[in-house]
Amino acid sequence: MSVMPEEIKKSGIRRFGRSVFLILLPLLLAIVCWGFGRLHVSVAAIFRFLNDGIRAGQWDQRLFSVLINLRLPRIILALACGAALSVSGATFQSVFANPLASPDTLAVAAGAGFGAALALYNRQNMIGVQLSAMGFGFIAVCLTYVVSRIKGRVTTIMIVLSGMVVAALFQAGISLIMTLAESEAMLPAITFWLMGSLASARFNTLLYGMPLIIIGMTLIFAMRWRLNVMALSDDEARTLGVNVQRMRLVFSLAATMMIAAAVSMAGQIGWVGLLIPHICRMCFGSDHRDVIPASISFGGSFLLLIDSFARTASAAEIPLSIITAILGAPLFIFLLHSSKGDGL
């Protein structure tokens, strides 16, 4: 039986349409959210501003400082962090064959948060903060994995339990640093950063953080078909010709890299890495060739919307983790019930 060209063509068109949608969604949302804020700028005004600026070289000074200097880096940061967190969530869910794996449940976020807080406390620069976040994040995920291994087997429940234990350990470390920081008037800064905020986004923050996210994401995106086989049991993956331990290491490193960068720029933002991959699977199925691009698009869009709400809803900024938890908890319960516990 040969494959009907007609059928391939049809699925090709569908795929193309989906790609266009996934690319346009965050871009369109970004343009709309760009105008939100204390100074509201309509989409038409944004286009006029850009048109005048690029064509005639006449940049409106007031709009330039608000739109380009303040809001643009923040929008880019929201898109990047959202995408990084959900892609790393999808990656961890596959390499640990565990639908509940995420930066939060595997304690990577807590580890990276501890590393970043430690470096901040020691007044390190942005590079130091990121390296420290990455180092401790990776120690955390390794600890979680080692603790959960019983007789060479890793069960879903053990991963989640040991993730809780390791996360508690690193949270205690963060609390300790905060106690020490109190006397040095650094507490508000660390607290606010920990609860998640994109408020400090400037172009030079991006300059330091984006490379790690881009490297990690490119790697995972390029190897995304491998995630399919990684989600099977270890014996199955191995007998299909995959070096399971090495791939798990590579994927975990890439994911941790992205989380470390996201945490050092934006603090601990919970739920995104757990929630978005599940939503993507519900929309497009479990094939990681579809889940990873969808996670990038949906994750970025999700965090962009949340952050736009966080900075416009009230006079004071609302920490992102509070909103993601309020939205995430009920949404996740709904997802679990509607997928009837089907897992990945």
Partner 1 sequence: MSETALEVRNAAFRWPKVREDQFSGVSFRLRTGEICAVLGPNGTGKTTFLRCLMGLLPWREGETLLFGEPLKKKSDREIWRRIAYVPQARSQQIAYTVEQMILLGRSAHLGPFAQPRGADIRLARETMALLGIGHLKDRLCTRISGGELQMVLIARALCAQPAIMILDEPESNLDYKNQQTILKTLNRLAKESAISIIFNTHYPEHALRLADQTILIHDRRATVGKSADLLNDANLSRLFAIPIAVRELEVEKKKRSVVIPLGDD
Place of tokens 């299909």: 240
Pairwise CA distance, residues 335 & 329, whole Å? 10
- Helical H runs in 149-243? 156-182, 187-194, 203-222, 224-230, 234-239
Does 184 sit near partner 1 (CB under 8 A)? Answer: no
Does 285 sit near partner 1 (CB under 8 A)? Answer: yes
Does 6 sit near partner 1 (CB under 8 A)? Answer: no
Pairwise CA distance, residues 308 & 301, whole Å? 10
Q: Are 328 and 86 in contact (CB under 8 A)?
A: no
Does 12 sit near partner 1 (CB under 8 A)? Answer: no
- 45, 229, 253, 336: residue in contact with partner 1 (rule CB under 8 A): 229
Q: Are 173 and 114 in contact (CB under 8 A)?
A: yes
Scanning residues 59 to 98, which ones bind partner 1 (CB under 8 A)?
97
- Segment near partner 1 (CB under 8 A); pick from 186-194, 229-237, 255-263, 300-308: 229-237
Q: Are 310 and 327 in contact (CB under 8 A)?
A: no
* Nearer to partner 1 among residue 155 and residue 175 (C-beta): 155
Strands, E assignment, the chain: 149-150, 153-154
C-alpha R_g of the chain: 21
Look at residue 36 and give its three-state secondary structure: coil
* Nearer to partner 1 among residue 276 and residue 318 (C-beta): 276
Does 281 sit near partner 1 (CB under 8 A)? Answer: yes
Scanning residues 206 to 225, which ones bind partner 1 (CB under 8 A)?
222-223, 225
- Segment near partner 1 (CB under 8 A); pick from 60-68, 204-212, 226-234, 307-315: 226-234
- 19, 51, 155, 239: residue in contact with partner 1 (rule CB under 8 A): 239
Q: How far is the CB of 247 from partner 1 (least distance, A)?
A: 7
Q: Are 174 and 194 in contact (CB under 8 A)?
A: yes
List residues near partner 1 by CB under 8 A. Answer: 1-3, 8, 97, 99, 222-223, 225-226, 228-229, 231-233, 235-236, 238-243, 247, 281, 285-287, 289, 342-344
